[in-house]
Structure formats: structure tokens, C-alpha cells
Chain A
Amino acid sequence: MDIVVLIKFVPDLVEDLEIDTATGLLDRNFLRLMPNELDEHALEQAIILKERHGGRVTVLALDTGDVDEALYTAVAKGADRVIKILGDGFDRGLGNRRIAAILRRAVGDVRFDLILTGTQAVDDLDGFVGALLAADLGLPYVGYVTQVVAADGRVVARKEYPGGLNAEIEVNGPAVLGIQAAERAPRYVVTSKVMEAMKSAKIEELTVDEVSVENELAVSSMALPESGTHAEMIEGNVQQVAQKLAVLLKERGVLA
């Protein structure tokens, strides 16, 4: 079973985000990017399917700058082909509509049974890459997928609803699946294997020229949330806090 995995590089939220006063938007100058967490799950799910059914896993990613290490890591995990897509302005942070259009061009003639990607990314504002690409390619899309079972040429995706409820959705033909969680946590692959991949594997490069995209969304401004209403903090040592809380709860008539 041949699978294409899409990886989007998103801001690393471990860092503080800043607003660029000139543009009024996110300051991307010192922003550190990392692979979207759910895309890592998608890669893991793809490798699991490859281990079960054979086939090839191809990873596609836009070159937002500094993506090589993640691509070599994908190879070390078991990806067969990794393709870095080059183009103008990728480091400036593109909307998902444009990303989907670029990916559509890049997927080109790659043969696949499934395209897997994270069901969403932390910086999504205008839709989701997987769903948009599916629409562009005219393929069915199922999101919030936590398990993929392939048997007799059919794929059954387990879709997660809130509260622990799941549904099985059968999919005919090639499709795009938005992964919420892989069947197992993404594997840790030891650094020496990544180093090995850096020496032996090759990252393919594909340049995509201007794509025409309609209906891109404009963002007029961004802001950091204000901690407007901060909680009233209860002071004192543990004993005092316990007493005060008990009084507060009784006063509020919450009990009984």
C-alpha cells in the first residue's frame, strides 16, 4: 500500500510568540518551526501500515527553511522517499489554501493509495491542508482518524468523536485521511540512525512555480491574548487556603 504523508512546519509553541509591529501579524523573524505534531502521527501511522502491508511511504514538505533534519528523521523511521518542495516565499508563512494548491502540483504523478496528514495544524486559519488537498484532487476526506485498517483492497478508518465514541468509516478508492492520533505514539528513532540517513539518503527537491490560488483569506491583524480576567488568587499557607476555599464554596451555595 503506497502512502503519501504531508508534513507542515508550524511555529514551535515552546517559544514566546511576538507580533511584528510593522505588519501587525506574527513576527516570523526569529520564529522556530517544527513539524506539526499531528503530521508526525500521520507519518507514524503510514509507517505502521507499511510494516503491515508493504508498499512505499513518500513524505512531502514545503521548504520553510531548515526542514532537512526532520526529513532525514522520517527516512530513519522508515520513509522511502522524502521530497522537499521549493518555492518563493515559503518561509513567510503561507495560508493553507495556497499550501494545498502547491501540494497538489507536487503530488503530481506520485502513485498512492492514501494520503495521510494531521487532521489539523496549530497555526491553521483558513481550513485544513488535508481536507483542502482532498477537495482539490477530488478525493474523499475523513478527519479525526485514530486507526486505519486495510483489508481486501478496502480501507476502514476509525473516526474519533468526543467522549470516547468512535465510528468506523469505510473508504473506497484513494482518499485523504486526517490523522488525530496514530495507533501508537510516534516512535523515537535513535540519533545514530538519523545520522546514517543523513549520509545515505537523498532528499529530492521539487520546485513549484507560481500557483494560482483563489479565495485566500486575508488576516487583518493579530494580537496576543490578554490575561484580562485573571483569577483572584487565594494567599496563605496550605491550611489557610483550605479554610478559605471551604468558606468560599459554602458561601457560593455550591454544595448540596
Chain B
Amino acid sequence: MCGEVCVFVEVLRGEVKDITYTMLAAGRQLAAGLKTKLTALLIGRDVQKLVAQLGAADRVVCVEHADLAEFNPDAYLHVLIAVFEQHAPRLVMFGHTATGTDLACGVAHRLHWPVATACRTFSLGNGTVQCSSLTCGGKLIANGPLPEPSCVVTVMPGGYKAKDGQVHKTPAVETVSAPGLDQVRTRFKQYLEPPVGDVDITKQRILVSVGRGIQNKDNLALAEKLAAALGGVVSGSRPVIDQAWLPTTRLVGKSGKQVKPKLYLAIGISGAPEHLEGVPEAELMLAINTDPKAPIFDVAQYGATCNALELMPLLTENLKK
């Protein structure tokens, strides 16, 4: 693995998360440019069956152990350090997620490598690798080099298309045994399930998403009617969920779900980065917001500044014709 581009495969409850594919897409480009290999590092228990999904990598390094079945920060860190102490990649990529951010700094510190976080895109130029990060609530872009010989990064979605990281090919597999895990100081106890009996917005093709601009719970009915007319479902941004107008299962954004609908109607949503993280790739996004300067208009393809509460019923009517 020395000098390679290494992607930490993020798995949650037996499912490979989308951010992994984003990283593989980025990793493929970088590996090609650096003329090196792309390795996917897969940690867990019974994870061999996921290897087939990691075809974008040249090979998968697998570390399996009963104690690694679910994400356990200290245990995973021990494993990573053991692996990297043997082989130092050029780049180690983690998702900028609850999992990845627990590990990136520990790895960087122990192995004396620099770490760059919230990276969206990478570029190559005369042998150097540069990264570009979005910081300060999305108000600032920072660019900088990723020093040699090794560097750790955390990656945010949006810079690369996840489907570019999905290749139907079975990569080579290398198994590495886990180091001793008796000194591990954290222990996974259990999952606490989210509220059930509700729709899974990640599987919906059409979402009518509401934000603070909807003003109060009663106006939700207007969004529901519109969603019904469109054949979709209502979702929301953080303020709406915080006020308990919608359950957490409907939250689109950083702490909520990542959605990839065909149509995303953003109603009264300003477009804060935490929300946009949840919908990095919608085929068609329409935004309605009375503030013409709202950041959502930089992301949506179409927009209007009229009053959403008046627009929704009229649009519903027009759609029925």
C-alpha cells in the first residue's frame, strides 16, 4: 500500500455508504494522476461480501474481527494505526462523517502525518496534490497542498458523482489480521433505532422540502397537498424538525438523510450548507424563497421569490389540470 491512494470504506449496518463511492471516484482520478494504485480499506466482521461493490478500487484490504462488527472508534483506530504503520499510503481518505471524523485525526497524529478536512475536490499539478475545502459555513473556499510523503484527508460529498465510484468489477482482496484489541477503551453497546412507521425519503423520487419560511405547522398541509399532487413526499430542513413539525425521519441534511431525488422542491429553505449536504445531487431543484440572496439559488436550477404560502395551493391546482 505504500505510496497508494487509500480510501477508508465507510460501512453502516452492513451497507456501504455513498460517501465511499464519492471518495472512490475522487481516488480513481488521483491514483491515475499519481500513477499509483487505489486501495479500499474495509474493516468489520463478515464484510467480504461487500467487496464486490468496491470495484472502483484496484484492491481491497480487509481486516475482520468480531469486535469490529459495528463501528467502535478506539478499536478501529487501533486497526488503522497497525495497518498504516506497516504501509504508508500517499493519501488516506476518510468520509467527513460521524465515522470518518472520529478516525482521521488519531491516524494523522500517531503516524505524524498532516490532516486536511472538509475537502471537496482534489487536483494534481506538477506532482503535487492540492485540495479545495469549503469552510466557514460555506462562505469561504480554502486551497492548499497535501504534503508528501503521506497525508490524511476527510472528504465532503458534492465534488464528485457517487456513481463514478461504482464500478462493476470484483477487485483483488488482501486479508490482514487484526491487531490485539484488548487495550481498546471504547465499546459499541447498541443502536437506538430511529422512529419507525414513516416513509424513507431516500427512496423517494420527488420531495417537497420545507424550511423555516413555512412559518408554522398549519402551513405544512399546503406542502402535503402539493407533494400528493406531484406524487412525492414532504421532507424538511433542521428548523422544521427542531420545532417538531416533521419527524426526524424527514430531515434532509447533515444530521439527517442524504437524498437523490429526481425533483427537489425547496420551499422557504435558505440553503445553509448543513442542509445542502443532504441533497448534493438532485436532478432538478426548484427553490422558492422571498429572499433573492438566499444561497439556495446558487444551487437550484430554477427559483422564484414569490410567497410560498400563496404559491403552493396555486401550483397544486395547476398540476391537477
**Choice from A140, A158, A245, A256 contacting B315 with Cβ under 8 Å:** A245
Chain B interface, DSSP helix/strand/loop, else mixed? mixed
Within 8 Å of chain A (Cβ to Cβ): is B127?
no
Residues of B within 8 A of A232 (CB): 301-303
Taking a contact as CB atoms under 8 Å apart, the answer to whether B304 and A233 are in contact is: yes
Within 8 Å of chain A (Cβ to Cβ): is B73?
yes
A130 to chain B: closest residue by CB: B105
Residues of B within 8 A of A136 (CB): 109
Taking a contact as CB atoms under 8 Å apart, the answer to whether B143 and A171 are in contact is: no
A95 to chain B: closest residue by CB: B114
Within 8 Å of chain A (Cβ to Cβ): is B45?
no
Residues of B within 8 A of A97 (CB): 114-115
Taking a contact as CB atoms under 8 Å apart, the answer to whether A167 and B191 are in contact is: yes
Taking a contact as CB atoms under 8 Å apart, the answer to whether B298 and A223 are in contact is: no
A239 to chain B: closest residue by CB: B314
Within 8 Å of chain A (Cβ to Cβ): is B317?
yes
Taking a contact as CB atoms under 8 Å apart, the answer to whether B187 and A169 are in contact is: yes
Residues of B within 8 A of A17 (CB): 136, 139-140
A239 to B318, CA, bound (A): 9
Within 8 Å of chain A (Cβ to Cβ): is B262?
yes
Residues of B within 8 A of A225 (CB): 134, 138-141, 298
> What 0/1 readout, one digit per residue, does chain A (147-173) give for beta carbons within 8 Å of chain B?
000000000101111111111111111
CB distance from B116 to the nearest CB of A (A): 6
Residues of A within 8 A of B168 (CB): none
B101 to chain A: closest residue by CB: A143
Taking a contact as CB atoms under 8 Å apart, the answer to whether B115 and A246 are in contact is: no
B310 to chain A: closest residue by CB: A238
**A217 touching B318 in the complex, CB below 8 Å, given contacts A142-B102, A142-B186, A169-B189:** no
> What 0/1 readout, one digit per residue, does chain B (69-88) give for beta carbons within 8 Å of chain A?
01111100000000000000
Contacts A/B (CB < 8 Å), 18 sampled:
A26-B140, A140-B74, A142-B73, A143-B73, A143-B102, A162-B97, A163-B194, A163-B202, A163-B257, A168-B190, A170-B186, A230-B298, A231-B287, A231-B297, A232-B302, A233-B305, A245-B318, A246-B321
**A241 touching B311 in the complex, CB below 8 Å, given contacts A164-B251, A166-B192, A234-B302:** yes
Residues of A within 8 A of B303 (CB): 231-234
**A170 touching B143 in the complex, CB below 8 Å, given contacts A122-B137, A127-B108, A128-B105:** no
Taking a contact as CB atoms under 8 Å apart, the answer to whether A171 and B185 are in contact is: yes
CB distance from A94 to the nearest CB of B (A): 15
Taking a contact as CB atoms under 8 Å apart, the answer to whether A165 and B194 are in contact is: yes
Taking a contact as CB atoms under 8 Å apart, the answer to whether A131 and B297 are in contact is: no
> What 0/1 readout, one digit per residue, does chain B (256-298) give for beta carbons within 8 Å of chain A?
1110001100000000000000000000101100001000111
A141 to B141, CA, bound (A): 28
Taking a contact as CB atoms under 8 Å apart, the answer to whether A119 and B101 are in contact is: yes
Residues of A within 8 A of B256 (CB): 162-164
Taking a contact as CB atoms under 8 Å apart, the answer to whether B98 and A219 are in contact is: no
**Choice from A127, A165, A171, A231 contacting B192 with Cβ under 8 Å:** A165
Residues of B within 8 A of A22 (CB): none
Taking a contact as CB atoms under 8 Å apart, the answer to whether A167 and B298 are in contact is: no
Within 8 Å of chain A (Cβ to Cβ): is B171?
no
> What 0/1 readout, one digit per residue, does chain B (138-155) give for beta carbons within 8 Å of chain A?
111111110100000000
**Choice from B104, B145, B307 contacting A218 with Cβ under 8 Å:** B145
Taking a contact as CB atoms under 8 Å apart, the answer to whether B106 and A134 are in contact is: yes
> What 0/1 readout, one digit per residue, does chain B (198-242) give for beta carbons within 8 Å of chain A?
000010001000000000000000000000001100000000000
Residues of A within 8 A of B304 (CB): 233-235, 241, 245
Taking a contact as CB atoms under 8 Å apart, the answer to whether B140 and A224 are in contact is: yes
Within 8 Å of chain B (Cβ to Cβ): is A192?
no
Within 8 Å of chain B (Cβ to Cβ): is A123?
yes
Within 8 Å of chain B (Cβ to Cβ): is A29?
no
CB distance from A255 to the nearest CB of B (A): 6
The 4 A-B pairs at the shortest CB distance, nearest first, are namely A164-B194, A135-B109, A131-B105, A242-B314
Taking a contact as CB atoms under 8 Å apart, the answer to whether B185 and A140 are in contact is: yes
CB distance from A174 to the nearest CB of B (A): 9
Taking a contact as CB atoms under 8 Å apart, the answer to whether A215 and B134 are in contact is: no
> What 0/1 readout, one digit per residue, does chain A (208-222) give for beta carbons within 8 Å of chain B?
000000111111111
B12 to chain A: closest residue by CB: A161
**A122 touching B188 in the complex, CB below 8 Å, given contacts A17-B140, A254-B262:** no
Residues of B within 8 A of A237 (CB): 306
**A231 touching B302 in the complex, CB below 8 Å, given contacts A217-B115, A252-B284:** yes
Taking a contact as CB atoms under 8 Å apart, the answer to whether A159 and B98 are in contact is: yes
A217 to chain B: closest residue by CB: B114
A237 to B255, CA, bound (A): 36
Seed contacts A163-B251, A222-B140, A245-B286; 4 additional CB < 8 Å A-B pairs: A128-B105, A223-B140, A231-B296, A248-B286
A166 to B189, CA, bound (A): 11
**Choice from A124, A167, A173, A235 contacting B185 with Cβ under 8 Å:** A173
A244 to chain B: closest residue by CB: B304
Taking a contact as CB atoms under 8 Å apart, the answer to whether B71 and A167 are in contact is: yes
Taking a contact as CB atoms under 8 Å apart, the answer to whether A238 and B136 are in contact is: no
A125 to B135, CA, bound (A): 7
Within 8 Å of chain A (Cβ to Cβ): is B300?
yes
